[in-house]
Amino acid sequence: MANEDIYTFSEAFPMKGGDGIHSYTLNSNLQGNGVIAAKKLITESIAEKLDIKIFSSLNICRIADLGCSVGPNTFFAVQNIVDAVKFKYKNLGLDSQIPEFHAFFNDHVANDFNTLFTSLPPNREYHAAGVPGSFYSKLFPNSLLHIVNCSFSCHWLSKVPKEVIDKSSSAWNKGRIHYANAPDAVVKAFEAQYQKDMDSFLCLRAQEIVHGGLLVIFSPSRPSGTSHSQSAYNMLVDALSPCLMDLVKKGVVDEKKVDSFNIPVFHFSPEELTQAVDRTGYFSIEEIKELPLTANGTLSLEQLSLHIRAIVELSVKANFGEEILDELFDLYLKKLQELSFNFNSENSINVFAILKRK
Amino acid sequence: MANEDIYTFSEAFPMKGGDGIHSYTLNSNLQGNGVIAAKKLITESIAEKLDIKIFSSLNICRIADLGCSVGPNTFFAVQNIVDAVKFKYKNLGLDSQIPEFHAFFNDHVANDFNTLFTSLPPNREYHAAGVPGSFYSKLFPNSLLHIVNCSFSCHWLSKVPKEVIDKSSSAWNKGRIHYANAPDAVVKAFEAQYQKDMDSFLCLRAQEIVHGGLLVIFSPSRPSGTSHSQSAYNMLVDALSPCLMDLVKKGVVDEKKVDSFNIPVFHFSPEELTQAVDRTGYFSIEEIKELPLTANGTLSLEQLSLHIRAIVELSVKANFGEEILDELFDLYLKKLQELSFNFNSENSINVFAILKRK
């Protein structure tokens, strides 16, 4: 238990807390669009796939949001599930039997739970609890949870594969902080880490979720048939590499620091998720869909740059120092403009999956 | 639900977070002594009074610590309960059936949960969750909890009775921040608030605790037959009043600010707790004891002064400003020395009670 204690700060990758100009609270609308897009699918799945008998005689519905960060997306996600369960009861003519709701908000111990707690919706219809710890460790007792949500968080790996920052390894990822444009050995190291982590994630959740309970996975994904280097989410992360190398050339950043820093994300494809579910065997896939991104037209490159900054700022700061942040993200915005970066149906999807605990 | 949102900062009275020289983490050994003294009693009570059938077929023991602050006392308290339950199973020859433990750490939303979470014991034997909110609101779904601990927190009222800061009321507590040496009308207002709050506390816990579950109350108390003004805990709090008035005389503090500030604590006697349990009717009293304080000899007046500072600093600061803190607590230490303050068997006890949900 308490495996999160083995995570170093750089591996925990907390989102930026508080509510300042670069905070995750104010710069998470890309995820927010995703949550809204998934709302209808979750409501339908709960209506069709969930047996309300799992709430047992105590009549309590226990929900967890894993990788919740600091809001407001996590509050929308949880309310969405609450609404869907209530809707189901109403449709069954069981208005008077709607259960009590207990919502568990989970993220790394380094997450800003103080901000999360002070921004809890005042008129919420659930009892709230915060659960600190990596979702690659067991977080709850056996058979506690009925509906678990994991939005925009399962693509974070438990750690950077050690060989990619090992100078003596053939998978050393020199001069890059991501695998998108890296040699094959680097990609393989990230794939292996993803497989290990996703298997571990599914096995742990299988213990915590009651039989018949649902696990919703909603993640930035790589479309089937799209290469790692052409996947939009990968391009977004990888675009930081040349910016950091520009700062190396200017003498602002030590090259060794770039060589020893990778961002532990893996944008898995729907197939790779299906394979992990089949491999572990605890869940059935009730639904798996590729959802197009609706972010274009609503997010400018400036906003996108702020969004990525909110996600990586704390870890970039811890590795490279605070003083490079503004210059780095100025370069980063220029890089996105230079690439004429845009999301389109070939390069970007989110994967939405509803799994049911067998 | 979420009644804590109606609490203002001054009513929430968070302990001082972080781990600095004036933090609660480093200045809570008075409570710590209490937890150690209660350990044996809790172990005995769990051995004798608890029916392990309440853990049900899921074999999970759910523990809550209400008013947990930021540790380390809360971790001792929870581990103590875990040890006592394990001890009971071992004594029954049921080692292999020891349940999983789920521990809920509760305090006001303004509590420093980030510090609490980062200081969770690395090798803990329980799954941890934080629960933000006043324990004068419903915090958990019905029938969730098996063992609830409330150490050194139930003496905090939900709010200052409004009449004691109302200039037009006969219970206006002019020039004082506590009822210990106040006119009868002020004492009556605090007594009424205590009764209302303790009744509410017991009714809420009756909903959250399973039948047969235990509620442990361990609080700084007023010994039977000791007047409010002679009770050591009251003397400790009330000694701040003349110090603040000294600062008024020096022109450092505005007198109106003293008149509008009271500390919402009530050091109830064992009889007053018994009456509340009888009045509400949901719990049986399995044990109620007056425990002598063991703090003397282990705590100097300097330490005691730091201890009181850790408890009240944030609220004093919010009301009077940060700039008075050092001067105020210098005066406060002198006042304790002038009073030759000491704990003795006539003026100070802690009350320890084990209640069982009927």
Q: How far is CA B313 from each of CA A7, A160, B115, B219, B317, rounded to the nearest angstrom? A: 34, 43, 17, 21, 6
B53: exposed, middle or buried (C-beta count within 10 Å: 0-12, 13-18, 19+)?
exposed
Specify the pLDDT at position A8: 32
Specify the pLDDT at position A9: 34
Specify the pLDDT at position A18: 64
Specify the pLDDT at position B300: 84
Instruction: Decide if A114 and B113 are in contact by the 8 Å CB cutoff.
Output: yes
Residue B125: its chain A contacts at CB < 8 A? 1
Q: Shortest CB distance from B114 goes to which of A113, A120, A124?
A: A113
State the average pLDDT over residues A60-83. 94
Is the CB of residue B171 less than 8 Å from the CB of residue B163? yes
Give CA–CA dist B47/B84, Å, rounded.
7
Instruction: Decide if B102 and A130 are in contact by the 8 Å CB cutoff.
Output: no
Instruction: Decide if A120 and B109 are in contact by the 8 Å CB cutoff.
Output: yes
The CA-based angle A301-A305-A311, given to 5 degrees, is 145
- What's the mean pLDDT when you consider all of chain A? 89
Instruction: Decide if A110 and B101 are in contact by the 8 Å CB cutoff.
Output: no
Is the CB of residue A223 less than 8 Å from the CB of residue A349? yes
Specify the pLDDT at position B2: 33
Residue B5 in contact with partner chain A when CB distance is under 8 A: yes
Give CA–CA dist A116/A107, Å, rounded.
10
Prediction ipTM score: 0.86
Is the CB of residue B228 less than 8 Å from the CB of residue B179? yes
- Among A70, A113, A135, most B C-beta atoms within 10 A, so best to mutate, is A113
Specify the pLDDT at position B202: 98
Residue A113: its chain B contacts at CB < 8 A? 113-114, 117, 130
Q: What is the pLDDT of residues A125-176, one digit of tens each?
A: 999 999 999 999 999 999 999 999 999 899 999 999 999 999 999 999 999 9
Instruction: Decide if B129 and A104 are in contact by the 8 Å CB cutoff.
Output: yes
Nearest CA in chain B to A111: B114
Kind plus residue range of the DSSP H or E element containing A283: strand A283-292
Nearest CA in chain B to A129: B131
Give CA–CA dist B301/B333, Å, rounded.
7
Give CA–CA dist B154/B142, Å, rounded.
21
Specify the pLDDT at position B79: 95
Residue B339 in contact with partner chain A when CB distance is under 8 A: no
Q: What is the pLDDT of residues A291-313, one digit of tens each?
A: 877 654 567 889 889 888 988 88
CA distance B148 to chain A (A): 16
State the average pLDDT over residues A103-126. 96
Q: pLDDT grade, residue A56 (50/70/90)?
A: confident
Instruction: Decide if A129 and B128 are in contact by the 8 Å CB cutoff.
Output: no
| Residues in B 266-325 with any Cβ partner in A closer than 8 A | none
pTM: 0.88
Q: In this complex, how many residue pairs, one in chain A and one in chain B, have their CB atoms less than 8 Å apart?
A: 98
Residue A207 in contact with partner chain B when CB distance is under 8 A: no
| Residues in B 137-176 with any Cβ partner in A closer than 8 A | 138-144
Of B100, B23, B19, which is closest to residue B63 (Cα–Cα)?
Answer: B100
Q: List, for chain B, all residue ranges whose pLDDT scores fall below the cut of 50.
A: 1-11, 32, 296
Of B137, B125, B150, B105, which is closest to residue B60 (Cα–Cα)?
Answer: B125
Specify the pLDDT at position A203: 98
Q: What is the pLDDT of residues A255-291, one digit of tens each?
A: 999 999 999 999 999 999 999 999 999 999 999 998 8
Secondary structure class of B279 (helix, strand, coil):
helix
Domains of chain B: 3-357 (3.40.50.150)
Q: pLDDT grade, residue A14 (50/70/90)?
A: low
Q: Shortest CB distance from B109 goes to which of A1, A110, A118?
A: A118
Residue B94 in contact with partner chain A when CB distance is under 8 A: no
CA distance A111 to chain B (A): 8
Cα-Cα-Cα-Cα dihedral sign, residues A334, A340, A344, A348:
negative
Residues linked to residue B107 through DSSP beta bridges, in sequence order: B132
Specify the pLDDT at position B83: 96
Instruction: Decide if B129 and A130 are in contact by the 8 Å CB cutoff.
Output: yes
Residue A319 reports pLDDT greater than 80: yes
Angle between helical axes of B73-91 and B29-49 (0-180°, round to 10): 20
